[in-house]
């Protein structure tokens, strides 16, 4: 593969800068904004959503599924952290790590989900401090015997509900601990798998129970500097095709009524629905939104995101609405059919590239055209902009952020695979 020299990157950037300037776009300003946007990178892709509660832990139930047999899955906390470190070396910028409760540092003992505490996440906080990262968190309401029935927080049995309520309460406490320790609010996202494969008689009770459970969970208040709550809806899952208790309507209603944020997972909607379109609607009434960036492919909601139209329109909407401070970007995908570190980098880089393209959009010009009513010119301008050299700006950004430029990062993924992950059985 041909190497890009520093001089070639700088020359390419100079030309691109001039080209964008013709459209009234300041590339330096765009890069300044881009550099400050964090992406929350999910740990669960690194070990195929297994967690470290037991030595042989693996994903079960919950309507989500990891497929593929690529070697090199992280088997321990240290391996997972090393893999994340490697992935971050390929992603320009300073980012966040998104944890799940089942990734605690349980030091070889089994700790039940309703017993987890901040101490089990102290080593993650320590590691985050060393790496200059911030943390986000998720309750783990799947891969557990008490979730096997397909219901957790909306289970009709009080004892099972109480167990999960206690778990989520503890997860919020852990989130607040992380936020305080790291001086950055930790977002706690709650997703539960509750639902049924076939048509139920009684949707009503489950939704009532879930609403009551949430009230109990959120009765404890934390300051917004410590932690923030998000609720994640889903259209359907494997085994919950006919009924999902926590649907979009349910959580949107709950979130708006109780001042929580909604989490929009891009894989959790009808395929022709535009998540980009939802932002300017929801953000009229809600202060913040969490995005789980994923790529739905047919029935799977968790493929690795790529720089496609969906990502581009999503990022464009955020930038056009000046909503970067109100939309939290997180990744959510898992794919065991390919190199996992490389997949993390592909997903994160796609989001950042989409964002860069959005930041390089000549907003003023486009608005003028739209306001003039010239629909042809608007369409044609959108097409014109696709040919602008955003790649040269991206390469320069990578150079400045000291991550591999051009396609050199592919070689880094291969090297790490040979030296590290391929040696795992």
List the catalytic residues.
191, 232, 234, 265, 268, 292, 300, 302, 332
Scan for tokens 């503890």, then name that residue.
170
- Smallest separation, CB 11 to Zn ion (Å): 41
- Please say which residue, 73 or 180, places its beta carbon nearer to ligand RNT: 73
* 154 contacts: CB under 8 Å, gap ≥ 6: 161, 192, 194, 206, 207, 209, 210, 213, 245, 246
Sign of CA dihedral 389, 395, 398, 403: positive
Separation CA 115–CA 166 (nearest Å): 8
Task: For ligand RNT, give the closer residue by CB, 134 or 292.
Answer: 292
DSSP state of 89: T
Examine residue 44 and tell whether it contacts ligand RNT (CB under 6 A).
Answer: yes
Q: How far is the CB of 357 from ligand RNT (least distance, A)?
A: 25
- Minimum CB–partner distance for residue 42 and Zn ion (Å): 8
- C-alpha 163: how far from chain center: 27
Half-sphere exposure of 299 (CA within 13 A, CB side): 11
Structure token pair of residue 74: 């992280």
CB of 191 to ligand RNT, least distance (A): 4
Residues 311-350 that bind ligand RNT (CB under 6 A): 332
Nearer to Zn ion, 265 or 335 (CB): 265
What burial letters (b/e) apply to 119-154, b meaning 16+ CB within 10 Å?
Answer: ebbeebbebbeeeebbbbbbbbbbbbebbeebbbbb
- For ligand RNT, give the closer residue by CB, 47 or 232: 232
Q: Work out whether 312 is an interface residue with Zn ion (CB under 5 A).
A: no
138 binds ligand RNT (CB under 6 A): yes
Q: Least distance to Zn ion from the beta carbon of 191, Å?
A: 6
Structural tokens at position 135: 């943390």
Quick one: which segment of 22-30, 60-68, 174-182, 257-265 binds Zn ion (CB under 5 A)?
A: 257-265
Q: Mask: binding to ligand RNT, 374-393, rule CB under 6 A, as x and -? A: --------------------
Distance CA 343, CA 59 (A): 19
**Among the residue ranges 66-74, 162-170, 330-338, 403-411, the one whose residues contact Zn ion (CB under 5 A):** 330-338
The residue within the footprint of Zn ion, chosen from 229, 310, 332, 335 (CB under 5 A), is 332
Beta carbon nearer to Zn ion, 95 or 397: 95
Q: Give the number of residues in contact with Zn ion, rule: CB under 5 A.
A: 3
Q: Is 45 in the site for Zn ion (CB under 5 A)?
A: no
Angle at 284 between CA 278 and CA 285, to 5 degrees: 105
Site residues, Zn ion (CB under 5 A): 265, 292, 332
């Amino acid at each position: 593969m041909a190497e890009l020299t520093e001089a070639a990157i700088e020359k390419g950037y100079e030309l691109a800068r001039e080209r964008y300037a013709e459209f009234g776009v300041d590339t330096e300003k765009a890069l300044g904004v881009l550099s400050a946007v964090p992406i929350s990178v999910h740990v669960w892709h690194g070990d195929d959503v297994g967690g470290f509660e037991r030595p042989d832990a693996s994903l079960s139930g919950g309507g989500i599924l990891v497929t593929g047999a690529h070697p090199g899955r992280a088997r321990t906390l240290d391996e997972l952290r090393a893999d994340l470190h490697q992935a971050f070396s390929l992603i320009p910028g300073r980012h966040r790590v998104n944890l799940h409760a089942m990734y605690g540092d349980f030091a070889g003992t089994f700790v039940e989900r309703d017993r987890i505490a901040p101490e089990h996440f102290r080593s993650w906080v320590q590691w985050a401090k060393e790496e200059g990262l911030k943390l986000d968190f998720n309750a783990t309401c799947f891969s557990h015997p008490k979730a096997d029935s397909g219901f957790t927080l909306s289970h009709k049995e009080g004892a099972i509900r109480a167990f999960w309520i206690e778990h989520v309460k503890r997860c919020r406490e852990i989130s607040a601990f992380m936020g305080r320790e790291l001086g950055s609010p930790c977002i706690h996202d709650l997703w539960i798998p509750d639902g049924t494969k076939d048509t139920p008689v009684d949707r009503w009770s489950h939704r009532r129970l879930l609403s009551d459970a949430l009230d109990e969970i959120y009765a404890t208040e934390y300051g917004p500097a410590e932690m923030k709550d998000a609720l994640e809806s889903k259209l359907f899952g494997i085994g919950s095709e006919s009924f999902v208790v926590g649907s979009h309507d349910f959580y949107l209603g709950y979130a708006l009524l109780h001042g929580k944020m909604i989490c929009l997972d891009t894989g959790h909607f009808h395929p022709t629905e535009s998540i980009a379109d939802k932002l300017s609607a929801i953000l009229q009434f809600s202060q913040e939104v969490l995005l789980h960036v994923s790529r739905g492919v047919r029935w799977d909601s968790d493929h690795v995101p790529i720089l496609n139209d969906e990502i581009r329109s999503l990022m464009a909407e955020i930038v056009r609405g000046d909503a970067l401070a109100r939309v939290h970007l997180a990744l959510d995908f898992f794919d065991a059919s390919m190199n996992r570190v490389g997949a993390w980098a592909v997903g994160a880089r796609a989001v950042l590239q989409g964002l860069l393209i959005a930041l390089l959009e000549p907003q003023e010009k486009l608005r003028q055209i739209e306001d003039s009513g010239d629909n042809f010119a608007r369409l044609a301008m959108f097409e014109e902009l696709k040919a602008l050299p955003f790649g040269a700006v991206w390469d320069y950004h990578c150079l400045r952020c000291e991550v591999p430029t051009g396609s050199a990062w592919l070689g880094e993924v291969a090297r790490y695979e040979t030296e590290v992950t391929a040696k795992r059985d």
